[in-house]
Amino acid sequence: MTDLMAIAQTYQLWVIEDCAQAIGATWQGQKVGSIGHIGCFSFYPTKNLGACGDGGAVTTNDEAIAHKIRVLADHGRIESYYHEAIGVNSRLDALQAEILSIKLQHLDQWNALRSQRATYYSQHLCDIANLHLPTVPSGGKSVWNQYTIRITDAPSLPTAPPAVGRDRVRSSLQQDGISTMIYYPLPLHQQPVYLQQAPIHPLPIAESVTHQVLSLPMFPELTSLQQNQVVEALRKLSTEKTLP
Ligand SMILES: Cc1ncc(COP(=O)(O)O)c(C=O)c1O
């Protein structure tokens, strides 16, 4: 963010932070969502602060932007039945707001528990070959919405398609009753909607990482017994050479 803000300042750009997975995270002690001009948060149920349905919030220190966002989120309405813009219906439901305000009181504790779970994974998986673990740059504090590893195929499998290792590991874990997710199976620039709109511009790193990523179980209530099962299952795959 420091580098990004410097570039933005030089070229007079707006910075919109996508904090959907990062509520409570900090960079150099500053909360994400307060560093750029606008921060966008998601309260989708899988997020660290999840509603029992959809929801979200926008943060900004700019009064004019705050006004505009309030208007846009309320069908462009400035007062009852007077519309100054074409907006959307994106009001936060009162019931969701109530649920979120109760859950918000627990957020720091839940984030700390996620952090402990992440440390456990990192300590117990670090010696397994071809597993690449997530790291946090110094100065940053992650809130671990996901613990996403990368699985790369060994050089002994030069002709294997890139997904072989990851997909094999995923289905073996599934057979052991361990659910994992792929965030995300198709990078943004290859989504059908964008393919229709613009010529495809290759992004080779995003495209190859898509075939390597695997998000392990991660939530505050994850017990050490469950986490140990994940670790042992991965270790077993490594010994059996299912893991490349
Ligand atoms: C990084 C990121 N950005 C944006 C979104 C979109 O959030 P919402 O579904 O609340 O609009 C998500 C949700 O999955 C996300 O993970």
Residue 162 near residue 153 (C-beta atoms within 8 A): yes
**Same structural domain for residues 99 and 114?**
no
Kindly give, in sequence order, each residue whose CB lies less than 8 Å from that of residue 59, ignoring residues fewer than 6 positions away.
Answer: 33, 34, 38, 39, 41
Confirm or reject: Cβ of 42 under 6 Å from ligand 1.
yes
Same domain? For 200 and 113 the reply is yes
Looking at the structure, do residues 28 and 116 belong to the same domain, yes or no?
no
Q: Per-residue confidence at 186, pLDDT binned at 50, 70, 90?
A: very high
Identify the CATH number of the domain in which residue 40 sits. 3.40.640.10
Instruction: Please write the tens of the pLDDT for every residue from 105-142.
Output: 999 999 999 999 999 999 999 999 889 999 999 999 99
Residue of the nearest CA to atom 13 in ligand 1? Answer: 20
Q: Given 56, 85, 104, which residue is the final one in a domain? A: 104
- 134: Cβ below 6 Å to ligand 1? no
Least confident of 3-12, 164-173, 180-189, 220-229: 164-173
- Checking if the pLDDT of 162 tops 70, the result is no
Q: Are residues 122 and 208 in the same domain?
A: yes
Domain boundary among 86, 104, 122: 104
Q: What is the CA(222)–ligand 1 centre distance, in A? A: 23
**Overall average pLDDT of the 226-238 stretch:** 93
Over the stretch 34-65, which tens digit does the pLDDT of each residue have?
A: 999 999 999 999 999 999 999 999 999 999 99
Residue with the nearest Cα to atom 4 of ligand 1?
20
Q: Are residues 135 and 89 in the same domain?
A: no
Residue having the nearest C-alpha atom to atom 12 of ligand 1? 20
Tokens of 37: 């001009």
* 96 pocket-lining for ligand 1 (C-beta < 6 Å): no
pTM for the model: 0.91
- Considering the domain architecture, whether residues 235 and 195 belong to the same structural domain is answered as yes
Nearest atom in ligand 1 to the alpha carbon of residue 46 is 14
Domain holding 114, by residue range, is 108-240
Ligand 1 neighbour 181 (Cβ under 6 A): no
The total domain count for the chain is 2
Q: What is the CATH number of the domain that holds 124?
A: 3.90.1150.10
Long-range Cβ pairs for the range 17-23 (8 Å, 24+): 20/44, 20/47, 20/56, 21/47, 21/48, 21/143, 21/145, 21/146, 22/142, 22/143, 22/145, 23/47, 23/48, 23/49, 23/107, 23/143
Q: Could you tell me if 211 and 233 lie in one domain?
A: yes
Round to whole Å and give the CA distance between 169 and 244: 9
Nearest residue by C-alpha to atom 15 in ligand 1: 20
Mean pLDDT of 203-218: 94
Q: Domain check: are 137 and 235 in the same one?
A: yes
- Residue 72 sits in the same domain as residue 115: no
Q: Which helix (H) or strand (E) holds 95?
A: helix 94-104
CB of 93 within 6 A of ligand 1: the answer is: no
Answer yes or no: do 158 and 234 share one domain. Answer: yes
Same structural domain for residues 98 and 126?
A: no
Residue to substitute in 16, 23, 38, 44 for testing ligand 1 pocket (most ligand atoms within 8 angstroms of CB): 44
CA atoms within 13 A of residue 86's CA, in its CB half-sphere: 0
| Distance in Å, CA 240 to ligand 1 centroid | 37
Q: Do 204 and 122 sit in the same domain of this protein?
A: yes
Residue the block writes with tokens 């099962």: 229
Q: CA–CA separation, 105 vs 92, rounded Å? A: 18
Distance 20 CA to ligand 1 centre (A): 5
The Cβ-side half-sphere exposure at 154, using a 13 Å CA radius, reads 8
Q: Residue 138 and residue 169: Cα distance in Å, rounded?
A: 30
What is the atom index within ligand 1 of the atom nearest the CA of 56?
10
Among 104, 131, 161, which residue terminates a domain? Answer: 104
- Look at ligand 1, atom 1, and give the residue with the nearest C-alpha: 20
CA distances (Å), 4 to each of 61, 62, 146, in order?
18, 19, 23
